[in-house]
C-alpha cells in the first residue's frame, strides 16, 4: 500500500515536471512568435517611410531622377531660361522680348551668341545647320494656325475636327514657344524643312551629341509627345542654358518634366 502510494506520488511528480516543461515550451513559442511579428512590423514601417513614391517616369520616380542628375541651382536672374510656354501656359500678355536679327530670322538677343557658336561649330564639323524660323509674334502664329485650319476645312473636315488636326501640328496663338524668341527651327541639307526626316540627317546626329554644350535641347522628343502636347519635331530646338540643357539631356526628360522638378 505504501509502495503503491509512493509510486502514485512519483507519477504525479513526473506529470508535474512534464507539465512545467510543456509550459516553458509554450512560453518560448509565444516569445518567438512575438519577436517574429515585431520584426515583420518593423520591416513594414521601414518600407512605408522609405523613398516616397512620386510621379513615375520611364526610368524611375521623379525624385530619384532629380537626385541622380543633381539639378543645378537656377539663379533668379536666369529663370527666363526655363520659361514654359505650351498649350497650358500661354505666354503672359505683358511678355516682352529683346530681339536681334539672326540670318533671316529674329531671336532673343540673349541666345544669339550661343546659337551662332552652335551653328558655326556644326559647320566646322562639316554639318550644314541654319535657322529657318525663330521669333514669331502672336499675330504671326494666328496666321499660320488659321491657314492650316483652313486647309482642313477645305478638305471637308468639320470645324471641330479641323481644330483638333491643326492643334497636332501648330500651337495655338499665344501657346507657341516661338513667341519667346528662345526657340528655333533648324534646317539642313538632305531633309525637307520641318519634316521628320530631319532626324535621318547628320545634323540631327550632331545636335544630339552637341546641342547641350551650347544650351539647347530638342524640345519635342518623339517619346514625350503625350507630355509636351506636340508631335515629334526633331528640328525644333529651345535654349535653356548650358547647365539646364545638360541636366535635361542626362535625365532624358522634357522641359515640362524638368520645370516640375525645379519648382516642386
We find the least distance from the C-beta atom of residue 185 to Zn ion, in angstroms, to be 4
Site for Zn ion (CB under 5 A): which residue of 236, 255, 258, 259? Answer: 236
Nearest to Zn ion of 66, 170 (CB atom): 170
CB of 57 or CB of 140, closer to Zn ion? 140
Run of H or E residues at 47: helix 2-48
Residue 230 CB, nearest distance to Zn ion (Å)?
A: 9
Please state the closest distance from residue 257 (CB atom) to Zn ion, in A.
Answer: 19
Backbone angles phi, psi at 174, to 5 degrees: 100, -20
136 binding Zn ion? (CB under 5 A)? no
Residue 169: its H or E element: helix 159-169
CA 26, 28, 33 angle in degrees (round to 5)? 95
**Of 81, 144, 185, 218, which lies in the binding site for Zn ion, with binding defined by CB under 5 A?**
185
- Nearer to Zn ion by Cβ, of 220 and 258: the residue is 220
Which helix (H) or strand (E) segment holds residue 159: the answer is helix 159-169
Q: Which phi and psi angles does 82 have, rounded to 5°? A: -115, 25
Q: Which residue is nearest to Zn ion (CB)?
A: 236
- Determine whether 233 is an active site residue: yes
177, 212, 218, 233: the active-site residue: 233
The C-alpha cell 516616397 sits at 52
Instruction: Indicate the residue among 185 and 218 with the shorter CB distance to Zn ion.
Output: 185
DSSP 132-189: EE----HHHHHHHHHHHHHHHHHTT--HHHHHHHHHHHSPPTT--GGGGT-EEEEE-T
The binding track of 77-116 with respect to Zn ion, each residue x by CB under 5 A or -, is ----------------------------------------
Burial of 79 (C-beta count, 10 Å sphere; 0-12/13-18/19+): exposed
**Which of these ranges, 2-10, 26-34, 96-104, 236-244, lies near Zn ion under the rule CB under 5 A?**
236-244
Segment 3 to 42, residues that bind Zn ion, using CB under 5 A? none
For 102, the 3-state DSSP assignment is strand
Q: Which one, 149 or 236, has the nearer CB to Zn ion?
A: 236
CA dist., res. 138 & res. 91, Å (int):
9
Q: Is residue 149 part of the contact set for Zn ion (CB under 5 A)? A: no
User: Which amino acids are annotated catalytic?
Assistant: 233
State the residues that interact with Zn ion by CB under 5 A: 185, 236
Amino acid at each position: 500500500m505504501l509502495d503503491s502510494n509512493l509510486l502514485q506520488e512519483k507519477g504525479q511528480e513526473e506529470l508535474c515536471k512534464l507539465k512545467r516543461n510543456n509550459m516553458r515550451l509554450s512560453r518560448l513559442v509565444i516569445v518567438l512568435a512575438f519577436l517574429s511579428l515585431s520584426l515583420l512590423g518593423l520591416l513594414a514601417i521601414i518600407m512605408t517611410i522609405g523613398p516616397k513614391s512620386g510621379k513615375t517616369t520611364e526610368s524611375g520616380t521623379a525624385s530619384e531622377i532629380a537626385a541622380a542628375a543633381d539639378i543645378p541651382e537656377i539663379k533668379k536672374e536666369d529663370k527666363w531660361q526655363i520659361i514654359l510656354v505650351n498649350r497650358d501656359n500661354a505666354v503672359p500678355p505683358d511678355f516682352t522680348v529683346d530681339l536681334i536679327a539672326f540670318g533671316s530670322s529674329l531671336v532673343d538677343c540673349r541666345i544669339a551668341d550661343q546659337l551662332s557658336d552652335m551653328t558655326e561649330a556644326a559647320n566646322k564639323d562639316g554639318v550644314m545647320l541654319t535657322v529657318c524660323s525663330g521669333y514669331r509674334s502672336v499675330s504671326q502664329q494666328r496666321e499660320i494656325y488659321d491657314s492650316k485650319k483652313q486647309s482642313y476645312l477645305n478638305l471637308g473636315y468639320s470645324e471641330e475636327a479641323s481644330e483638333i488636326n491643326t492643334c497636332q501640328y501648330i500651337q495655338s496663338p499665344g501657346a507657341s514657344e516661338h513667341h519667346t524668341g528662345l526657340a528655333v527651327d533648324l534646317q539642313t541639307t538632305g531633309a525637307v524643312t520641318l519634316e521628320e526626316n530631319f532626324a535621318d540627317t547628320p545634323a540631327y546626329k550632331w545636335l544630339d551629341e552637341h546641342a547641350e554644350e551650347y544650351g539647347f535641347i530638342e524640345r519635342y522628343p518623339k517619346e514625350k509627345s503625350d507630355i509636351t502636347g506636340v508631335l515629334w519635331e526633331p528640328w525644333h530646338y529651345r535654349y535653356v542654358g548650358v547647365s539646364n540643357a545638360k541636366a535635361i539631356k542626362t535625365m532624358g526628360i522634357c522641359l515640362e518634366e524638368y520645370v516640375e522638378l525645379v519648382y516642386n
